[in-house]
Amino acid sequence: MSPSEQYSVRIKDVALLAAFALFLSTIEYVIPKPVPYMRIGLANLSVLIGLTYLNLKEYALLAVLKVLGQGIVHGTLFSYIFLLSAAGSFASALVMLLIYRTASRRISLIGISAAGAFASNLAQILLAGVMLFGSAAWLIAPPFLAAGLIASVVLGIFAEKFSRESLWLKKRRGAAA
């Protein structure tokens, strides 16, 4: 029996979305960026998609798999970078979940994406201050947060469009209903 046969369709979906996140972060890795340390946060697209139809447990599993998978593939599992990435991802996943659960009628994936990226970047700056840069971490905070805001709004618009047009998601939501 192959490993994938033991799991329900939904659990396999979580692995698929986690792999999607990994794929997106690999794409991001090869995109040349004007400033080092600048992150677009493409992988957040998969979390935004997961947010719209996974239950709490599946969503948490997605966040854990995303963080672990990135750590393994990018070879940062046992470095500070992994702690930074984990802190950022979990802060963002939590903030996005809270907003989605309390206010999804009034807010779209655009605002959720922006808030998630903001939480992620703030968590990373705080941690980078402690571990790498000292108090000078705040010097890079404003451009870092501003770039993150722009990237996350663009990604949010994309996620919103994707969640309306995706046949895969339509199928999933149909199956869940």
Partner 1 sequence: MKMIGKPADAAVIAGIVVFIVLISFQVYANRGEASQVRIDAQGEQWIYSLDADQRVMIPGPLGDTEVVIKDGQVHIPDSPCRNKICVTSGLIHRVGQWLICLPNDVFIRVEGEVPRDQEVDDVAF
Partner 2 sequence: MKEQRNLPLISGLLMLPALVFQQNLLFLGLQTLFLVMLQPILGKRIRVLPNLIMLSTITALNLVQPYGRVLAEPLGFPVTVGALELGMRRSFMLISLIYLSKFMVIGSPRFPGRLGEMLSLQFSYYQGFLSTPVSLRPSQIIRSLDQLLLSLEASDGTVHVSRLPKRVLMFCAASPVLIWVCFAAGSLQ
36 binds, among partner 1, partner 2, none (CB under 5 to 8 A by kind): partner 2
Residue 127 is encoded by which pair of tokens?
Answer: 């941690």
Give the residue from 42, 20, 31, 30 showing the smallest Cα distance to 120: 42
Cα dihedral across residues 88, 44, 67, 80: positive or negative: negative
Please identify, among the stretches 27-35, 49-57, 77-85, 110-118, the one whose residues bind partner 1 according to the rule CB under 8 A: 110-118
Distances (CA, A) of 82 to 33, 52, 53, 71, 113: 21, 27, 27, 6, 21
Please identify, among the stretches 6-14, 29-37, 76-84, 153-161, the one whose residues bind partner 1 according to the rule CB under 8 A: 153-161
Show contacts with partner 2 in window 46-65 (CB under 8 A).
61, 64-65
Task: Report the C-alpha gap between 24 and 39 in whole angstroms.
Answer: 12
Residue with tokens 């998630």: 116
Among 38, 98, 103, 131, binds partner 2 (CB under 8 A): 131
Interaction between residue 69 and partner 2 (CB under 8 A): yes
Show contacts with partner 2 in window 70-129 (CB under 8 A).
71-73, 75-82
Give the binding site for partner 1 (CB under 8 A).
Answer: 103, 105-108, 110-111, 114-115, 118, 138-139, 141-142, 145-146, 149, 153, 156-157, 160-161
